[in-house]
């Protein structure tokens, strides 16, 4: 198994942490059946993860192709009875790359408590950087961002 099962709150035996060494015994038919079911499920789980990963990569590839092609012909969205509304979208993911510079800038601009009081609030960092970009202002010192292209879909 690749991950440790979650302990029940009442289980403090350490059975899922320590590997027990001892005598090799004879399993019962119930143990054999349970082992068979576990290994079958584990195998199906691994295969599903692999398939899911491949499907996700294909989805990402097609989404970027559609986005780029829509932009190439000059449309941002379209609506059809078959698909509903299809739109190009950009999602901004802001990040702090220099905490000291970012903290100083946020304090000077009265935004420290709103964005960093205890830890960085990603949504607020994203909002701040999006606002600055939309207003044509330079990104404040200590910040950076990445844009992801995506296609959104709403059924009619």
Residues 100 and 135 grouped into a single domain? yes
pLDDT at 10: 45
Domain boundary among 59, 74, 89: 74
Q: Which of 78, 116, 81 is nearest to 99 (CA)?
A: 116
Cβ neighbours of residue 102 under 8 Å, at least 6 residues apart?
Answer: 96, 116, 140, 141, 142, 143
Domain that holds residue 42: 28-74
- Asked which of 45, 74, 103 is the last residue of a domain, the reply is 74
Task: For residues 146 and 93, state if they share a domain.
Answer: yes
Reference 86, options 65, 60, 67, 68; nearest CA is 67
pLDDT of residue 21: 58
Q: What is the pLDDT of residue 17?
A: 40
**48 and 99 belong to one structural domain:** no
- Both 68 and 81 in a single domain? no
98 and 131 housed in the same domain: yes
Domain membership of residue 11 (yes or no) is: no
**In terms of domains, do 70 and 80 share one?**
no
Mean pLDDT for the chain? 82
9 compared with 109, residue with greater pLDDT: 109
Q: Which of 107, 142, 111 is nearest to 124 (CA)?
A: 111
In a domain, 119, yes or no: yes
Number of Cβ atoms within 10 Å of the Cβ of 67:
19
Whether 109 is covered by a domain: the verdict is yes
One domain for residues 112 and 147: yes
Confidence of residue 115 (pLDDT cuts 50, 70, 90): confident
Residue 8: strand, helix, or coil: coil
Residue 14 domain flag:
no
Q: How far is CA 52 from CA 47, 110, 131, 152, in A?
A: 8, 45, 36, 20
Of the pLDDT bands very low, low, confident and very high (cuts 50, 70, 90), residue 113 is confident
Percent of the residues in the chain that have a pLDDT greater than 90, as a whole number: 40
- Of 36-45, 48-57, 125-134, 143-152, least confident by mean pLDDT is 143-152
Given 18, 44, 74, which residue is the final one in a domain? Answer: 74
Is the pLDDT assigned to residue 36 strictly greater than 80?
A: yes
Residue 84 shares a structural domain with residue 128: yes
Domain membership flag for residue 10: no
Average pLDDT over residues 130-155: 84
pTM of the model: 0.51
Give the Cα-Cα-Cα angle 37, 9, 3 (nearest 5 degrees).
45
H-type alpha helices, the chain: 29-72, 99-108, 112-116, 122-134
């Amino acid at each position: 198994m690749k991950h440790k099962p979650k302990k029940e709150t009442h289980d403090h035996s350490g059975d899922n942490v320590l590997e027990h060494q001892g005598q090799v015994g004879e399993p019962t038919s119930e143990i054999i059946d349970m082992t068979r079911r576990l290994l079958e499920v584990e195998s199906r789980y691994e295969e599903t993860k692999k398939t899911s990963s491949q499907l996700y990569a294909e989805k990402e590839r097609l989404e970027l192709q559609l986005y780029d092609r829509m932009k190439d012909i000059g449309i941002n969205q379209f609506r059809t009875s078959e698909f509903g509304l299809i739109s190009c979208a950009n999602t901004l993911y802001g990040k702090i790359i220099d905490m000291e510079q970012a903290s100083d800038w946020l304090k000077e601009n009265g935004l420290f408590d709103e964005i960093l009081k205890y830890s960085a609030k990603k949504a607020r960092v994203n909002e701040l950087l999006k606002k600055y970009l939309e207003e044509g202002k330079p990104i404040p010192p200590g910040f950076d961002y990445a844009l992801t292209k995506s296609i959104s879909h709403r059924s009619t």
